[in-house]
Amino acid sequence: MRKPYVVALTWALLLWLPPLAGWAQGAHPFGVPESGGGVAGPDWLSGLFAQISAWQSHFYRQLTSAVRAWQADGTAAWGLLGLSFAYGVFHALGPGHGKAVIASYVLANRQTARNGALLALLAALLQALVAITLVAIMAWLLHATAPEMNRATRWLETASYALITLLGAWLVWSKALRPWLRRPGDHHVHDAEQGHAHRSAHDDHSHHETHDHREVEGQPSHARLSIDAERASHVIPIHNAHHHHDDCGCGHVHVPSPDQVAGALDWRKAMSAIFAMGLRPCSGALIVLVFALSQDFFAAGIAAALAMGLGTGLTVAALAVFAVVAAGAATRVGAYASAVWMTRVRVGIEVAAAVFVLLLGVLLLGGQVSGGG
Amino acid sequence: MWIDARARIAFDDQGRMTAIEQDWLFDEMFGAYTTQGLEKGPDGSLPAKTLQGMAKDWMQALGEPISHYFTQASVNGKPVKFAEPRDAVVSWDTKSQRLTLSFTLPLAQPMAPDKQGVQFDIYDPTYFVAYDFGAPGAVSLIDAPKSCQQSYRPPRELDWQTMQKLAAIPAEAETVPDELLAITKGLTHRIQVSCE
User: How far is the C-alpha of A190 from the C-alpha of A202, rounded, in Å?
Assistant: 12
Give the Cα separation of A76 and B48 in Å (integer). 39
d(CA A305, CA A50): 23
Least CB-CB distance to B126: which of A17, A28, A61? A28
Would you state the pLDDT for residue A29? 81
Flag whether pLDDT at A34 surpasses 70: no
Domain ranges within chain A, ordered by starting residue:
2-182+257-330+345-371, 187-242
Cβ-defined contact of B29 to A291 (cutoff 8 Å): yes
pTM of structure: 0.76
In one-letter notation, the amino acid at residue A353 is: A
Contact between A103 and A315 (Cβ < 8 Å): no
The CA-based angle A195-A200-A206, given to 5 degrees, is 80
Q: Do B174 and A42 touch (CB under 8 A)?
A: yes
Q: What is the pLDDT of residue A42?
A: 58
pLDDT, tens digit, 9 for 90 and up, residues B16-51: 999 999 999 999 999 999 999 999 999 999 999 999
Mean pLDDT check: name the lowest of A120-124, A144-148, B126-130.
B126-130
Q: What is the mean pLDDT of residues B125-129?
A: 78
> Three-state DSSP class for A274?
helix
Residue A111: the pLDDT is 81
Helix, strand, coil percentages, rounded to 5, for chain A = 75, 0, 20
Q: What is the mean pLDDT of chain B?
A: 86
For position A69, what pLDDT does the model report? Answer: 93
C-beta atoms surrounding B85 within 10 Å: 19
Beta strands in chain A (DSSP E): none
pLDDT of residue A21: 42
Model confidence at B124, pLDDT cuts 50, 70, 90, reads confident
Q: What is the pLDDT of residue A133?
A: 97
- pLDDT band at A27, cuts 50/70/90? low
Nearest CA in chain A to B63: A29
Q: Report whether pLDDT(B129) > 50.
A: yes
Averaged pLDDT, A261-277: 76
Q: Which residues contact A123 (CB under 8 A, 6 or more apart)?
A: A98, A102, A273, A274, A277, A278, A313, A316
Contact B28 A291 (CB under 8 A): yes
Q: What is the pLDDT of residues B136-191, one digit of tens each?
A: 999 999 999 999 999 999 887 766 666 666 556 554 444 444 444 444 467 788 99
Contact assignment for B171 to A34 by CB distance below 8 Å: no
> For B60-83, what is the mean pLDDT?
88
Q: Which of B27, B29, B121 to mutate to test binding with chain A, by most A CBs within 10 Å of its CB?
A: B29
Question: Which residue of B27, B58, B180 is in closest CB contact with A29?
Answer: B58
Residue A205 has pLDDT above 60, yes or no: no
> ipTM value of the model?
0.81
- Bridge-partner residues for B6, per DSSP? B23
Distance to chain A for B156, nearest Cα, Å: 9
pLDDT tens digits, residue range B158-171? Answer: 666 666 665 565 54
Collapse the DSSP code of A176 into the 3-class scheme (helix H, G, I; strand E, B; otherwise coil) and give the result: helix
How long is chain B? 196
Residue B99 φ/ψ, nearest 5 degrees: -95, 145
Of A63-72, A257-266, A358-367, B32-41, the poorest mean pLDDT is in: A257-266
pLDDT at A222: 42
pLDDT-above-90 percentage for chain B: 64
